[in-house]
């Protein structure tokens, strides 16, 4: 009876909330007060897929949903990104009949990495994808091993894990777990023998702290590794990108399926592979997966094209406090062919909480912008001096760099500089609208 | 003029951009005509710090700190000898904890530290990350920065900061923080603490000049953006306190 009331209240509050334009956490929060074990009582669909990790959750989940829907399955998922237990409760209860049976063939969840254990106390996914663990919002997440410890209790013995074999810390989840499937990238055109990046979180073995050796790096600490002390090593993969040409924008999965990339980023490659792996495990055929994922343009708006003055602009949404997200976007600019300018904005470090912490700037490999086609670099925002100081410790010539305290000043200077170079903007959700409100957005 | 910097275990203890402390110190020393050589150590290296004028260790994860503590008994005599010879030593983040008598982990296991001081640390399963404004004992301007700790440290009589207007001290909210004894400095401030606090950097430089017997110039170099960046962070954090 409590479940019945919880579902009614949840649906009612959601209905009112939608009219009022409110978020999706509150209905679930109230429903869980009425029936704390509601998520354990609802009859869920036979397939429950969860995705967690530091980066790529939203994109991966979006592609999984698109593939599963194309395959004819009905998918319920948290498109609005409410990935903590209250948001998940809203999603599940609002998708359930009053008798407590959830509609749909698949429940698909983007799960917050720190709070997954709260959600999965009541039910467990049939498939759990873990994409990667990086330094991400250390101000609230602690550090990657702390996040690892937070995810561990969320893993049920019966769940099939789909793990990124190229991430040594993520691979550690397989220890003591029977059902594990692996995805990874074979040595390919992006692989290097030397480590690139300002810091190396893979230098030490996550299992024994011994010295790690890499036969190749794909980026940062992601690659093919083996511990010299305990033998902990990259696992053989069940799903692999066997060839990759980022210049041309193509990748090959398992040696026989070529996919074109709408966004030529190594991130996108891993997100596609993660989506491919779990959809394959869910029984979708290769042809269907390939047809959806080929040239797939993400709808989550992480990349925005616009015009500012004579400049054709591309905003690459990064995440402050996440050096890997920055590095990936800087790498995208470094691979550009045409002359360009780069604008970096650090104004509000977070949109959700206050912090003045800027040490993450020192983890970003800004030297990637030290290339011929990057003609000018504009730094701006409240923390412009922290940024400028960081750039003083790169090899980028000082005459290429200019600084502004506020976004409107930087935008005005760019609008009036008469230049026609491409403009790449790297910043976070917390700051990007400060620029997007001043430019003319392009469609598509 | 030349001096030597020993950077301890950067492959394990570099969680928050700590290398920047070494970079900014070198840049300032260069501006004063001092050539600084940096030697990076791993836990497996022989602990020979006899030629080191400045010894630095940054923060790591709890597991990586334990891998440092496993090697601590072997390295402690060399570190103690360096301290007795007046080397300037700075340990930041949870590296600070290793200087003391012991660290008790969340499971209750006791790990002996380097024993340069007799304070003790107990880890908890709760993190207290947060911005920090600290009142220094040895210089005037408030220090700014960030802490990301899951521990409490007891038994420090001579702290580096006598109180924290914002943040969690050694064992209490707003309480005294860090440790200082002669040229040995420790604070749980993470990351580029010297970059963010130009006065702290100047103090380290003065101590190094004194150690080497060099005359300290009346004015130390000020490099672009350093003071401005500090002022912005302090302004934002003080507004937060109010």
Q: Do A203 and B225 touch (CB under 8 A)?
A: no
Grouping H, G, I as helix, E, B as strand and the rest as coil, residue B33 is coil
A148, A204, A213, A227: best to mutate for the B interface, most B CBs within 10 A: A204
Tens-place pLDDT, residues A64-95: 999 999 999 999 998 877 778 899 999 999 99
The per-residue pLDDT for B164 is: 98
Please give chain B's pLDDT, 242 residues, in tens.
999 999 999 999 999 999 999 999 999 999 999 999 999 999 999 999 999 999 999 999 999 999 999 999 999 999 999 999 999 999 999 999 999 999 999 999 999 999 999 999 999 999 989 999 999 999 999 999 999 999 999 999 999 999 999 999 999 999 999 999 999 999 999 999 999 999 999 999 999 999 999 999 989 999 999 999 999 999 999 999 98
Q: What is the DSSP letter of B230?
A: H
Helix and strand tally (H, E) in chain A? 15, 18
The per-residue pLDDT for A21 is: 80
CA-to-CA distance for B116 and B81, rounded, in angstroms?
A: 10
Distances (CA, A) of A177 to A135, A181, A298, A393: 25, 11, 33, 44
Tens-place pLDDT, residues A173-220: 999 999 999 999 999 999 999 999 999 999 999 999 999 999 999 999
| B14 CB within 8 Å of a chain A CB | yes
Classify the C-alpha dihedral B60-B63-B69-B74 as positive or negative: negative
How high is the ipTM of this complex? 0.97
Mean pLDDT of chain A: 95
CA-to-CA distance for A425 and A407, rounded, in angstroms?
A: 12
CA-to-CA distance for A308 and A411, rounded, in angstroms?
A: 8
Average pLDDT for residues A214-242, to the nearest whole number?
97
Q: Do A204 and B11 touch (CB under 8 A)?
A: yes
β partners of residue B111: B103
Tens-place pLDDT, residues A305-322: 999 999 999 999 999 999
Residue whose pair of structure tokens reads 């007891």 in the numeric block:
B154
| A382 CB within 8 Å of a chain B CB | yes
Q: Do A359 and B17 touch (CB under 8 A)?
A: yes
CA-to-CA distance for B65 and B78, rounded, in angstroms?
A: 19
The Cβ of residue A38 has, within 10 Å, a number of other Cβ atoms equal to: 24
Q: In this complex, how many residue pairs, one in chain A and one in chain B, have their CB atoms less than 8 Å apart?
A: 109
Contacts of A359 in chain B (CB under 8 A): 16-17, 20, 146, 190-192
Contacts of A386 in chain B (CB under 8 A): 225, 229, 232-233
Give burial (CB, 10 Å; 0-12/13-18/19+) of A5: middle
CB B143 within 8 A of CB B132: yes
Q: Do B127 and A385 touch (CB under 8 A)?
A: no
Distances (CA, A) of A37 to A29, A121, A122: 12, 9, 7
Grouping H, G, I as helix, E, B as strand and the rest as coil, residue A425 is strand
Q: Do B12 and A393 touch (CB under 8 A)?
A: no
Q: In terms of Cα–Cα distance, which of A267, A275, A283, A221 is closest to A51?
A: A275
Task: Set out the domains of chain A in order of their start, with CATH numbers.
Answer: 2-293 (3.40.1190.10), 303-441 (3.90.190.20)
Q: Which two tokens stand for residue B198?
A: 């130009």
DSSP H helical ranges for A253-400 = 266-281, 286-293, 323-334, 384-392
**Cα nearest neighbour of A150 on chain B:** B125
CB A375 within 8 A of CB A387: no
CB A290 within 8 A of CB A257: yes
Tens-place pLDDT, residues A359-417: 999 999 999 999 999 999 999 999 999 999 999 999 999 999 999 999 999 999 999 99
| B232 CB within 8 Å of a chain A CB | yes
Who's near B234: CB < 8 A, 6+ residues apart? Answer: B133, B141, B142, B144
B9, B13, B18, B20: best to mutate for the A interface, most A CBs within 10 A: B20
For strands A250-253 and A239-245, give the pairing: antiparallel
Chain A residues 184-223 with CB within 8 Å of chain B = 198-200, 203-204, 206, 209, 211
| A99 CB within 8 Å of a chain B CB | no
CB-closest option in A209, A355, A392 to B225? A392
pLDDT at position A32 over 80: yes
CA-to-CA distance for B160 and B167, rounded, in angstroms?
A: 14
CB-closest option in A206, A362, A388 to B225? A388
pLDDT at position A430 over 70: yes
Q: In terms of Cα–Cα distance, which of B49, B58, B125 is closest to B88?
A: B49
CA-to-CA distance for A308 and A421, rounded, in angstroms?
A: 11
Helix and strand tally (H, E) in chain B? 6, 11
Cα separation of the two ends of chain B: 46
pLDDT at position A444 over 60: no
Q: Do A388 and B240 touch (CB under 8 A)?
A: no
Q: Do B192 and A362 touch (CB under 8 A)?
A: yes
CB-closest option in A359, A388, A392 to B16? A359
Residue whose pair of structure tokens reads 């360096």 in the numeric block:
B82
Q: Do B233 and A358 touch (CB under 8 A)?
A: yes
| B125 CB within 8 Å of a chain A CB | no
**Cα nearest neighbour of B234 on chain A:** A356
CB-closest option in B15, B64, B232 to A385? B232
Contacts of B12 in chain A (CB under 8 A): 203-204, 209
- Show the beta-strand stretches assigned E in A333-397: 340-345, 374-380
Task: Set out the domains of chain B in order of their start, with CATH numbers.
Answer: 2-241 (3.40.50.880)
Minimal CA separation from A203 to chain B, in Å: 6
The Cβ of residue A30 has, within 10 Å, a number of other Cβ atoms equal to: 17
CB-closest option in B11, B129, B233 to A139? B129
CB B192 within 8 A of CB B21: yes
pLDDT at position A22 over 80: no
CA-to-CA distance for A394 and A234, rounded, in angstroms?
A: 33
CA-to-CA distance for A414 and A421, rounded, in angstroms?
A: 10
């Amino acid at each position: 009876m409590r479940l019945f009331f919880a579902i009614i209240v949840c649906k009612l509050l959601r209905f009112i909330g939608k009219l009022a334009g409110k978020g999706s956490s509150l209905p679930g929060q109230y429903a869980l007060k009425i029936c704390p074990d509601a998520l354990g009582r609802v009859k869920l669909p036979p397939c429950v897929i969860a995705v967690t990790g530091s980066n790529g959750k939203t994109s991966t989940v979006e592609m999984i949903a698109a593939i599963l829907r194309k395959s004819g399955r009905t998918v319920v998922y948290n498109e609005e990104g409410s990935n903590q237990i209250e948001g998940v409760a809203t999603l599940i209860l609002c998708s359930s009949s009053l008798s407590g049976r959830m509609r749909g063939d698949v429940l698909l969840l983007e799960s917050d990495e720190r709070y997954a254990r709260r959600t999965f106390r009541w039910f467990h996914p049939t498939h759990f994808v873990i994409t990667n663990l990086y330094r991400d919002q250390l101000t609230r997440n602690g550090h990657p091993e702390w996040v690892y410890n937070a995810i561990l209790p969320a893993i049920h013995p019966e769940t099939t894990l789909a793990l990124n074999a190229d991430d040594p810390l993520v691979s550690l989840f397989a220890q003591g777990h029977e059902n594990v499937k692996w995805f990874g990238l074979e040595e390919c055109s992006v692989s290097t023998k030397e480590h690139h990046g300002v810091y190396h979180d893979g230098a030490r073995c996550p299992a024994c702290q011994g010295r790690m050796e890499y036969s190749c790096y794909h980026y940062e600490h992601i690659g093919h590794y083996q511990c010299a002390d305990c033998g902990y090593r990259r696992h053989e993969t069940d799903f692999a990108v066997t060839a990759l040409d980022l210049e041309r924008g193509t990748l090959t999965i398992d040696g026989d399926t070529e996919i074109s990339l709408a966004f030529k980023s190594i991130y996108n490659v891993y997100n596609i592979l993660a989506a491919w792996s779990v959809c394959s495990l869910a029984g979708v055929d290769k042809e269907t997966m390939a047809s959806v994922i080929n040239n797939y343009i993400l709808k989550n708006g992480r990349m925005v094209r616009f015009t500012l003055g004579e400049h054709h602009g591309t905003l690459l949404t990064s995440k402050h406090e996440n050096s890997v997200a920055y590095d990936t976007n800087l790498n995208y600019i470094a691979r550009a062919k045409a002359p360009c300018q780069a604008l970096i904005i650090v104004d509000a470090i977070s949109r959700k909480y206050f912090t003045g912490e800027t040490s993450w700037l020192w983890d970003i490999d800004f030297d990637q912008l030290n290339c011929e086609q990057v003609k000018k670099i504009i730094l701006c925002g409240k923390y412009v001096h922290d940024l400028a100081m960081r750039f003083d410790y790169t090899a980028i010539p000082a005459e290429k760099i200019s600084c502004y305290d506020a976004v409107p000043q930087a935008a005005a200077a760019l609008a009036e500089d008469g230049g026609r170079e491409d403009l790449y903007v790297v910043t976070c959700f917390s700051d990007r609208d400060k620029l997007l409100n001043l430019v003319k957005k392009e469609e598509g | 003029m030349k001096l030597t910097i020993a950077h301890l275990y950067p492959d394990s203890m570099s969680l928050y951009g700590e290398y920047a402390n070494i970079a900014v110190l070198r840049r300032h020393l260069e501006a004063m005509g001092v050539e600084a050589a940096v030697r990076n150590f791993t836990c497996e290296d022989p602990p020979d710090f006899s030629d080191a004028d400045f010894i630095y260790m940054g923060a790591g994860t709890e597991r990586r700190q334990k891998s440092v503590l496993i090697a601590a008994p072997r390295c402690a005599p060399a570190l103690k000898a360096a301290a007795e010879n007046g080397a300037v030593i700075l340990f930041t983040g949870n590296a600070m904890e290793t200087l003391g008598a012991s660290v008790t982990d969340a499971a209750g296991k006791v790990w002996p530290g380097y024993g340069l001081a007799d304070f003790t640390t107990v880890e908890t399963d709760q993190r207290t990350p947060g911005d920090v404004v600290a009142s220094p004992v040895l210089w005037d301007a408030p220090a700014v920065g960030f802490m990301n700790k899951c521990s409490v440290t007891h038994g420090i009589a001579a702290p580096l900061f006598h109180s924290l207007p914002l943040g969690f001290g050694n064992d209490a909210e707003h309480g005294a923080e860090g440790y200082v004894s002669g040229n040995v400095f420790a604070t749980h401030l993470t990351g580029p603490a010297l970059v963010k606090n130009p006065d702290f950097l100047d103090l380290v430089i003065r101590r190094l000049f004194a150690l080497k017997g060099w005359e300290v110039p009346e004015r130390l170099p000020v490099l672009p953006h350093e003071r401005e960046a500090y002022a912005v962070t302090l302004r934002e954090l003080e507004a937060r306190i109010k």
